[in-house]
Every structure is written in C-alpha cells, then in structure tokens.
A and B are shown apart, each in its own frame.
Chain A
Amino acid sequence: MGMRYFGTSVQRQEDKKFLMGQGRYVDDIEFVGMLHGAFLRAEIAHAKINGIDASAAREIPGVHAVYTLDDLGDPYPDKPMTTAYASPLLKQTICQHLLAKDEVCFVGQTVALVVAESRHIAEDALSRIVVDYEPLPAVADCRDALDDDAPPTHLGLESNLVGNFYGKFGDIDAAFAEAAHTFKVDFHEHRGGCHAMECRNIITNYDPGKDETTVYLTTQSPFLIRRLMARYFEEDESKIRVICPDVGGGFGPKNGPYAEEFVLAIVSKQLQRPVKWIEDRREHFVATNTQGDQMWHMEIACEDDGKILGARGRVIHDMGAFVPYGLLLPATSVFPLPGPYALPALDVTLDAVFTNKTCTSPVRGAGRPNAAYAMERLIETVARGLKLDPADVRRRNFVRKDQFPYTTGGTLPSGDPAVYDSGDFHSLLDMALYKAGYPGFKKRQAAARQEGRYLGMGISSCIEDTGFGPYEGVKVKVQPSGKVLLQTGAASQGQGHQTVYSQIVAEELGVNIESIVYQSADTGTVPHGVATAGSRVTANAGPASQAAARLVRKKALKLAAEVLEIDEDDLDIEDGVVRAIPESGRNVNISLGDLSFKLTPLMNGKVPEGYEPELEATSFTSSTGVPHASGSSVAEVEVDVETGEVKLVNYVIAHDCGNMINPMLVDGQIVGGVVHGIGNALFERMVYDENAQPMSMNYGEFLLPIATEMPPIQVLHQETPSPHNELGVKGAGEGGTIPAANAIIAAIENALEPFGVVVNDHPVDPQRICELLDAAQDSASAA
C-alpha cells in the first residue's frame, strides 16, 4: 500500500489556479460572436401587466433582440415551468412562465430579456422598455397569508395555501394529558439568501450542426438541470449538455432550476449565437431563491426533571411567489424536529403559504437549522420554566449511544422510517462544554456582572441526516501514461471534491495523489450524478470512489499476476507500480500505465483474453442508509445593555461526521458553516415593506458576517463511523450552520437573565435587544 492519504490534511489539489487568478468561472469564458443578455424584472410585487412596449429598446444600436414571453414564440406563452420535486402534498403547484405572462407576482420576476453586443448596451436598452403595470394588493408577511381578508397572491386564487407537511408520531394526547408541565413558546425565524460571492451566471451555446445546446452554468446539479430542461423542451437529454466550470459558492440556491437558463437556451437557438447572462448583485437579492420566514407556535409536555414527553404545534412557512423546488424546505423543517432527543410523541403541522416575495429553496442546511432552532427553543423553554441547567435538560433527553440504531418514530420524505445510525451525543456535549469553560462559567459571569458586564453562554445540540441517496457516479480509469482519470458527476462549488476523492482513490488504488487527473460536472463526459446538496456527496461519491478504485485495483492485480507470472496475493501496488512483495522472493514489477496500455491495444494488438478493454471501472455505490452527523455548540457572548450590542466572545463546536477523510477540509466546512449560522442569528435580514417591496438590496443594508465580528471558533471532533458505508463517513457541509442560531440566542438570553429577557425571534439586532430590555424593565416596574 502506498502513502496513506485517508485521514490526513492533504493540501488542496485545486488551490493553485485560484491563487494565481487562473480559476475559470462562467463570466471568464468567452466565445466568438457571443452576445450579452440583461433581464427586465418586475419592480412591483404584485401587478397586472396591461402591456409592454419594447420598441424604443429595439432601436438602440447594438441591441440584437428584445424578448417578451410572446416573442419567445410557441409553445412558451402557454407553458409554465414545472416544479423540480413534485409531491402529492402540494395543493397548488404554481410555477412561473419563463417571462411574465399578464401578471407579476414578486419583485425580481423575469419580464423581458434584452440581448445586445455588450452588457452595458443591454442595460441601456432595459431602461427604454415601458411596462404598463396595474398594481394589485400583495402579501408581504407569511403570517397574514391565510387570513380571511388576505389578498390573493396570484389573480384568481381562492387560498394562498401551497400545501401542508406533517410530522406526527406517538400518542401526543396522552403525552400532554400525563405531563407534569406544559409550556408554550412562539418564535419567528428569518433566514437569508444565497450570497455566494459569485452570483448565478449562464452561457448558452447552440450548435446548429449538432442540434445541441451547451449550457455553462453555476449550478450545484448539472444532471438535474439537464433533465428538467430536456423534459421542458421535450428534447432528448443528449441534445443538452450542462457544464459547470469553477463555481464561486453554492449554498443551496444554486441547486434548482431558474427561468433564466431556459430563456437563454431558447434565445441562443433562435439567434444562433452564444448568449451570456451574468446575474448582478442587485438582481441576486431578488432573483435568486432565498429561504424566507417561518412562524412557529409550539407547545411542549415534560416531567419534573425536564424529561420531554411530547411536542406539538403549527408552523407557517413562507414559500415565496412560486413553487420551483417542491416541498423540500417544509419537509426538512419538520421531519428532523426530534433532533438528538428521544422524543416520544410529536404532532406538528406546517402550512406552506404563498407570499409576493422571491421564491424559496434550501439555503445551507435547508429547513434543518429551522427545525434545530425549534427543538432547541423547546429545550430552553423547559430549562427556563423548570429552572434547570439547559445542559442537564439536554442530557436527560438525548438518545443514548446504546440505543443506536435508534428509530425516532417519524418518517423521512422518502417514506422510510427515520433511523439514527450512530453517534454519542452525551460525550459531544461534554467535550464542547469543557472546552468552552462551562463548568466555571457561573462564577466568571457573576464577577463580570459586578462590573456591569453581561456575559452569557448558550448551548445548542443537533443531528443532521446527511448523505441521502440515491447515488453519485464515479469513474476511475488508468491511462497509458500512468495518470489516473477520476471523474465524478458531483459538481463542486468549493468543497474540495478533487482533493477528497483523489485521496480515496489514491489510497485505494496505490498511486500518488499528484498522478490523479480530476474531471467533474459535465454531463457530456462524466458518469451520472445527482446534486451537491444536503451534505450528501461525501457519503455517496466517497463510497463510489472507493468501489471504483477497488475494481480497477483488482483488475490491475489480476492482469499483473498473469503478466509477471506470480500469485496475485504476492503483489501490491505502490506509487502506481504493481510489485512483488518482499515475502514473495521475487523482484518483478509492472506499472499501472503499462497495464493500461495492454488493455487498450491499437490495430496491431489484441486485448488479453478474459478482459474487457480499458483499465477502468465505474461505480454508483452509495451509503446503505442515512448517516447521521451530530454536534453540540457552545457560544459565549457579552451584551452591552446600554447599546444592545452583542460581542461574540467565543464559539466552540464539537462535531461528529464519522471518519474524516481530510480534517483540514472538514474544519473549513464547519467554521464556514458556523459563520453562516451566526449570520442567521445576528445579521442577515432581507427587509420588505408592507407592499412586499424589498428594501435590503445592497451589502450596506443586507449584512453578511465579516471578519472583525466573528469570534474565535474552536472545532472539536468525535469520529463515530457510520455503519452505512465502509469509509465510515458522514456529511459535514451543514453541521456548522444547523445549531448555531440557538447557541447564540440562548447565550444572549443567558447574559440578560438578570433582566428576564427572552429573545426567541431571530435574527436579533442591538435595537431589538434594547427594546426587549425596555419592555422587561417596564413589566418589572409594573409588577
């Protein structure tokens, strides 16, 4: 066996090009004759369109075409898009037309497209298009959407209900009937948008000779987009090729279909020219899916010691104006609700409702950060109500390590029962608490309060269902040069796929990592893939990489044994060379390149008997079940009670994603995820006015986390291998984000305990904290 790669912090193979400015993102690609598009977008949240006059725009020199929906031609005026994930639970699956038809339903909806010699000229033309809008009442707040007097979000709707999702198991009535205590808590959660540093970008290039459209796209799921496009255009999948060049971050919203790529595919074919569209940041705020709001009304039943008997409640979930992505967000907000706790009974109903706002789809963690926040809120509520240590309430309710595999009683969206495979939640929490200094904190907190400083510590625990199937395709092929071609269907947006799968293949096959050539995310060349989403790729592409490399190794050893006339068991592969082991007493070897050459002879040769040509294998091996990652976080904050400012003093996360392939890259995922969660808790808020007009459309008003505001983040690892794959791996991409909000909100509440402040809603800002402090003071003085 060659150098050991698995489990080591190998530096990334993909770094150098980025460090030298040689990454190639969509906007860096040019074609001869390429034209540039700019979309006219709805400026009013809900309006009837009485007419569009694009004549002045068409007059501008350098403008090649202006398209409204009618200009796209048949059948598009009568062909709305379809949702990516249909579900029988969807009552109204309204999807948009490629360009607005008679009505716009959110600010940012595509209305028309200008195609011009340059983006500058295209934007010059946009301002010359006149749209005759007749404003209609809009729904801006999901909490109002089902009110009797709520206006319809789409003309003619009788109800704004999109559908329901349910989380039900156990005997909830008995739980509440028998409970020593019940508590109610309501909270509003807001989650921001994508805000990948590269926005969504597209080039479509139609080749009339081949009747084939190539789409260069910043997507997380090239195969999904190809399928959806083929289905919509009623084309064979071979006529559409989706390629992801370097992609500058995904975080979820780049996973689904958008009208823009469909429009550009049509236009490139009609104009027979390559067409580029680059989403600018202002568009990104409204045109790229966000995650939006949820309002939770929850109730929990427990015993005297905080042991939970059941939870029930209702959630209103903001879907935005259309349903491009099915019920994935509602589902992931509800089914993971039990979290790491042995919850005997659950009864939660979610109402997914239309609003006149940007469409929604998962953002890092999907609904799981919402679900985790909900469950952690219940834990905090119990601890507060019973005056118990929140750490103890968690310990009393955790699934114990001797209970794995643990069946929650709930079901996954697939209909399969939810089963936790592995973990040790108690030790994870203890690790985090110890590192954070929780045991001595009360003393430190009391001393600080004497000086008028308000320190607080908050805990949050979570699990994450990772690695959901069905598969990712991986192909490993030794080439005559000795270089090993590694292809994965999974697209990377910065996760380090090249390095991680190269580590697995190099180790399994017995080659140096430098000899691996990596290709991915091109539906024209690589094996079928599904999507880089939901922390699922490692637990799918990992096993597939291992299995494909193993098949290649087996074939190489068998052939080498025949060529070298030696027993297979006396051979090993090291540095790309098959050699006799010292114990065999023989000193013979043959390189993998030579073996590949033997399996790919030209006209004057023949394939060895009993072999298929090529030293290659393709695998779709995936995890046999759902690997569950887990984690506990502890945040420490200091709150300035005069200004409401929150300083993040420290953040500890103990995380378990099973065996780590590359600990440095895992840390990168966790820390990045935590900061995304900090953004959810404290910073990122997309403000709309009462007419659903977006207000926060620049980075001065929509606040992303920046370096100076972040605490030191300490990552601890526990490696509980998943039994669902031989590598023992679980996903790690979202485990930092999922628990973060409650750790921070609970820390703020802990700091402000002397004032009796309970925050609940997030994100929370200094102004809100001051309002809560004032309200607490008012009610104290009233009492």
Chain B
Amino acid sequence: MSEQNNDEREITLTVNGKTYRETVETRIHLADFLRLQLKLTGTHLGCEHGVCGACTILVDGEAVRSCLMLAVQANGSDVTTIEGLADGEELTPIQKAFSEHHALQCGFCTSGMIMSLTAYIAENPGADEEAIREAISGNICRCTGYQSIVAAGVAVAAK
C-alpha cells in the first residue's frame, strides 16, 4: 500500500442520541473513533485484542467490544457509550450501585463493566449471582476482585 493514500469513508451514526457525520480513515477501530474523533474518552482501551472488555459499548443496544469493530462498520448505527447513560446528573441504577457497593477503584475497567451489565440486565432481568458473574467474565478488573461488582449487578438485577 502507498503510504500517501488514506482510505477514508464518510459515515453517519448516532452516539448517545446525537447524530454525527464524520469522515474516518477506514483502519480506525470504533473505540479510537469515539476517543480521538468524537472526544468521548470514557471508553477505554485496555488490551486492543478483544479480551479485557474495557472498551465495551452498546451498538444498536447490544454490548460489543469497540476495539473489534472498525468505525466504518458503525455507519448507520445507534451507539451508546458510558457518557450517554446518566440523565444529566442523575445516574442510572447500575451507576449508583457501583458507588454503593464500592465496585470501582481505579475506574479504568468501570466503563466497560457498566456497559456490559447495562446490556445484560436489560435482557436478563432478575439475573442471579452466577449469571452476573458470567456476564462480566469477559471484563477484566485488576483492582476489585470482582466481588463488589457482582454485588452491584445482583442488587440492580433484583430490583
């Protein structure tokens, strides 16, 4: 490939309720697009090979790893990131439960954890502890030991 040629596309997508029309280099993955181009830095990159789950976001309501999608593939999609959850200053039940249960320490995995649980509990209300553990088994946290995150998830799922 010639180094001069940037392969670019114009895409239109909705992120947290706002519609964007942007030109993107096609090799940019969705997480980098959100972070570098839309300045939505709440989505974090922990491994960039699809294992740690820190970059989890919702695409058309489904939890996906945003480092494993190209930005161009989100054309026409409705994307939700951590920045799009709270209603103004009013946190969602999962966000509140994370604070109540001390389910975050350094905060780096938190966005992905919350996005995973948001999607999972929406689809599986009443999920029990085993299910919640499984739901976050694709999200790595080095700080908490998971127990408090599981407690937060179980508390919200039981509501």
Q: Are A and B interaction partners?
A: yes
Specify which chain A residues have a CB less than 8 angstroms from the CB of B104 in the assembled complex: 12, 15, 18-19, 494
Specify which chain A residues have a CB less than 8 angstroms from the CB of B56 in the assembled complex: none
A758 to B5, CA, bound (A): 61
> Which A676-727 residues have C-beta < 8 A from chain B?
676, 698-700, 704-708, 710, 712-713
**A734 touches B (CB below 8 Å):** no
Specify which chain B residues have a CB less than 8 angstroms from the CB of A196 in the assembled complex: 106, 108, 142
Determine whether the beta carbon of B143 is less than 8 Å from that of A712.
no
Specify which chain B residues have a CB less than 8 angstroms from the CB of A17 in the assembled complex: 107
Determine whether the beta carbon of A198 is less than 8 Å from that of B108.
yes
Q: From B106, which residue of chain A is reached at the shortest CB distance? A: A494
Q: From B97, which residue of chain A is reached at the shortest CB distance? A: A19
Determine whether the beta carbon of A19 is less than 8 Å from that of B99.
yes
**B73 touches A (CB below 8 Å):** no
Q: From A118, which residue of chain B is reached at the shortest CB distance? A: B36
Determine which of B83, B109, B142, B150 lies in contact with A21 in the assembled complex, contact meaning CB atoms within 8 Å: B83
Stretch at the interface among A91-99, A241-249, A557-565: A241-249
A495 to B105, CA, bound (A): 6
**B98 touches A (CB below 8 Å):** yes
> How far does the Cβ of B5 sit from chain A's closest Cβ, in whole Å?
10
Specify which chain B residues have a CB less than 8 angstroms from the CB of A710 in the assembled complex: 133, 145-147
Main DSSP-derived SS at the A contact region: loop
**A20 touches B (CB below 8 Å):** yes
By the criterion of a CB under 8 Å from any partner CB, how many residues of chain B are at the interface? 56
> How far does the Cβ of B36 sit from chain A's closest Cβ, in whole Å?
8
With A197-B106, A496-B105 given, is the CB distance from A707 to B98 under 8 Å? no
Stretch at the interface among B7-15, B39-47, B120-128: B39-47
**A170 touches B (CB below 8 Å):** no
Determine which of A9, A11, A494 lies in contact with B143 in the assembled complex, contact meaning CB atoms within 8 Å: A494
Specify which chain A residues have a CB less than 8 angstroms from the CB of B79 in the assembled complex: none
**B119 touches A (CB below 8 Å):** no
**A210 touches B (CB below 8 Å):** no
Q: From B52, which residue of chain A is reached at the shortest CB distance? A: A699
Determine whether the beta carbon of A19 is less than 8 Å from that of B108.
no
A281 to B35, CA, bound (A): 18
A705 to B148, CA, bound (A): 15
Determine whether the beta carbon of B99 is less than 8 Å from that of A61.
no
A673 to B105, CA, bound (A): 12
A316 to B91, CA, bound (A): 52
Determine whether the beta carbon of A708 is less than 8 Å from that of B102.
no
> How far does the Cβ of B25 sit from chain A's closest Cβ, in whole Å?
8
Determine whether the beta carbon of B105 is less than 8 Å from that of A19.
no
Determine whether the beta carbon of B141 is less than 8 Å from that of A197.
yes
With A248-B106, A496-B105 given, is the CB distance from A197 to B142 under 8 Å? yes
> Which B66-125 residues have C-beta < 8 A from chain A?
81-83, 85-86, 91, 95, 98-100, 102, 104-111, 114
Determine whether the beta carbon of A120 is less than 8 Å from that of B41.
no
Specify which chain A residues have a CB less than 8 angstroms from the CB of B148 in the assembled complex: 667-668, 671
Determine which of B4, B40, B85 lies in contact with A61 in the assembled complex, contact meaning CB atoms within 8 Å: B4
Specify which chain A residues have a CB less than 8 angstroms from the CB of B136 in the assembled complex: 707
**A674 touches B (CB below 8 Å):** yes
**B23 touches A (CB below 8 Å):** no
Determine whether the beta carbon of A674 is less than 8 Å from that of B82.
no
Determine whether the beta carbon of A281 is less than 8 Å from that of B47.
yes
A280 to B47, CA, bound (A): 7
> How far does the Cβ of A48 sit from chain B's closest Cβ, in whole Å?
31
> Which A481-528 residues have C-beta < 8 A from chain B?
493-496
**A166 touches B (CB below 8 Å):** no
A712 to B144, CA, bound (A): 13
With A21-B43, A712-B147 given, is the CB distance from A493 to B106 under 8 Å? yes
> How far does the Cβ of B153 sit from chain A's closest Cβ, in whole Å?
9
**B134 touches A (CB below 8 Å):** yes
Determine whether the beta carbon of B102 is less than 8 Å from that of A12.
yes
> How far does the Cβ of B103 sit from chain A's closest Cβ, in whole Å?
9
Determine whether the beta carbon of A21 is less than 8 Å from that of B111.
yes
With A493-B106, A675-B145 given, is the CB distance from A197 to B44 under 8 Å? yes
Q: From A700, which residue of chain B is reached at the shortest CB distance? A: B51
Determine which of A20, A671, A673 lies in contact with B42 in the assembled complex, contact meaning CB atoms within 8 Å: A20
Specify which chain A residues have a CB less than 8 angstroms from the CB of B27 in the assembled complex: 120
Determine whether the beta carbon of B52 is less than 8 Å from that of A668.
no
Stretch at the interface among A22-30, A401-409, A423-431, A630-638: A22-30
**A443 touches B (CB below 8 Å):** no
**B22 touches A (CB below 8 Å):** no
Determine whether the beta carbon of A249 is less than 8 Å from that of B106.
yes
A196 to B41, CA, bound (A): 18
Determine whether the beta carbon of A707 is less than 8 Å from that of B133.
yes
Determine whether the beta carbon of A665 is less than 8 Å from that of B102.
yes
With A12-B99, A20-B95, A667-B102 given, is the CB distance from A197 to B140 under 8 Å? yes
Q: From B28, which residue of chain A is reached at the shortest CB distance? A: A120
With A249-B105, A707-B133 given, is the CB distance from A18 to B110 under 8 Å? yes
A667 to B143, CA, bound (A): 12
Specify which chain A residues have a CB less than 8 angstroms from the CB of B138 in the assembled complex: 706
**B30 touches A (CB below 8 Å):** no
Determine whether the beta carbon of B134 is less than 8 Å from that of A698.
no
Determine whether the beta carbon of A21 is less than 8 Å from that of B140.
no
Specify which chain A residues have a CB less than 8 angstroms from the CB of B111 in the assembled complex: 18, 21
Determine which of A23, A61, A247, A698 lies in contact with B3 in the assembled complex, contact meaning CB atoms within 8 Å: A61
Determine which of A281, A495, A707 lies in contact with B48 in the assembled complex, contact meaning CB atoms within 8 Å: A281
Q: From B86, which residue of chain A is reached at the shortest CB distance? A: A20
**A620 touches B (CB below 8 Å):** no
A736 to B147, CA, bound (A): 14
**B49 touches A (CB below 8 Å):** yes
Determine which of B3, B133, B142, B144 lies in contact with A668 in the assembled complex, contact meaning CB atoms within 8 Å: B144
Specify which chain A residues have a CB less than 8 angstroms from the CB of B141 in the assembled complex: 197
Q: From B40, which residue of chain A is reached at the shortest CB distance? A: A21
Determine which of B45, B47, B139, B147 lies in contact with A713 in the assembled complex, contact meaning CB atoms within 8 Å: B147
A708 to B140, CA, bound (A): 11
Q: From B144, which residue of chain A is reached at the shortest CB distance? A: A672
Which of B35, B44, B86 counts the most chain A CB atoms within 10 A? B44
Q: From A246, which residue of chain B is reached at the shortest CB distance? A: B107
A281 to B141, CA, bound (A): 15
A495 to B142, CA, bound (A): 12
Determine whether the beta carbon of A20 is less than 8 Å from that of B91.
yes
Q: From A715, which residue of chain B is reached at the shortest CB distance? A: B147
Q: From B16, which residue of chain A is reached at the shortest CB distance? A: A21
Determine whether the beta carbon of A23 is less than 8 Å from that of B100.
no
Determine whether the beta carbon of B105 is less than 8 Å from that of A699.
no
> Which A154-207 residues have C-beta < 8 A from chain B?
195-198
Determine whether the beta carbon of A251 is less than 8 Å from that of B110.
no
Determine which of A27, A664, A676, A704 lies in contact with B102 in the assembled complex, contact meaning CB atoms within 8 Å: A664
**A568 touches B (CB below 8 Å):** no
Q: From A11, which residue of chain B is reached at the shortest CB distance? A: B99
Specify which chain B residues have a CB less than 8 angstroms from the CB of A246 in the assembled complex: 106-107
Specify which chain A residues have a CB less than 8 angstroms from the CB of B40 in the assembled complex: 21
With A61-B3, A196-B142, A280-B48 given, is the CB distance from A707 to B150 under 8 Å? yes
Specify which chain B residues have a CB less than 8 angstroms from the CB of A60 in the assembled complex: 3
Determine whether the beta carbon of B42 is less than 8 Å from that of A249.
no
Specify which chain B residues have a CB less than 8 angstroms from the CB of A280 in the assembled complex: 48
> How far does the Cβ of B41 sit from chain A's closest Cβ, in whole Å?
4
Which of A676, A704, A708 counts the most chain B CB atoms within 10 A? A708
Q: 13 additional contacts, CB 8 Å, given A246-B107, A698-B51? A: A9-B102, A11-B100, A16-B91, A17-B107, A197-B141, A198-B44, A248-B44, A248-B108, A671-B145, A675-B146, A676-B145, A707-B146, A713-B145
Residues of A within 8 A of B (CB): 9, 11-12, 14-25, 27-28, 60-61, 120, 124, 195-198, 246-249, 251, 280-282, 493-496, 664-665, 667-668, 671-676, 698-700, 704-708, 710, 712-713, 736
11 contacts between A and B (CB under 8 A): A16-B99, A20-B83, A23-B107, A196-B108, A249-B106, A280-B48, A667-B102, A668-B144, A700-B51, A706-B137, A710-B146
Residues of B within 8 A of A (CB): 3-4, 25, 27-28, 35, 40-49, 51-52, 54, 81-83, 85-86, 91, 95, 98-100, 102, 104-111, 114, 133-134, 136-150
Shortest 3 CB-CB distances between A and B: which pairs? A21-B42, A494-B106, A248-B108
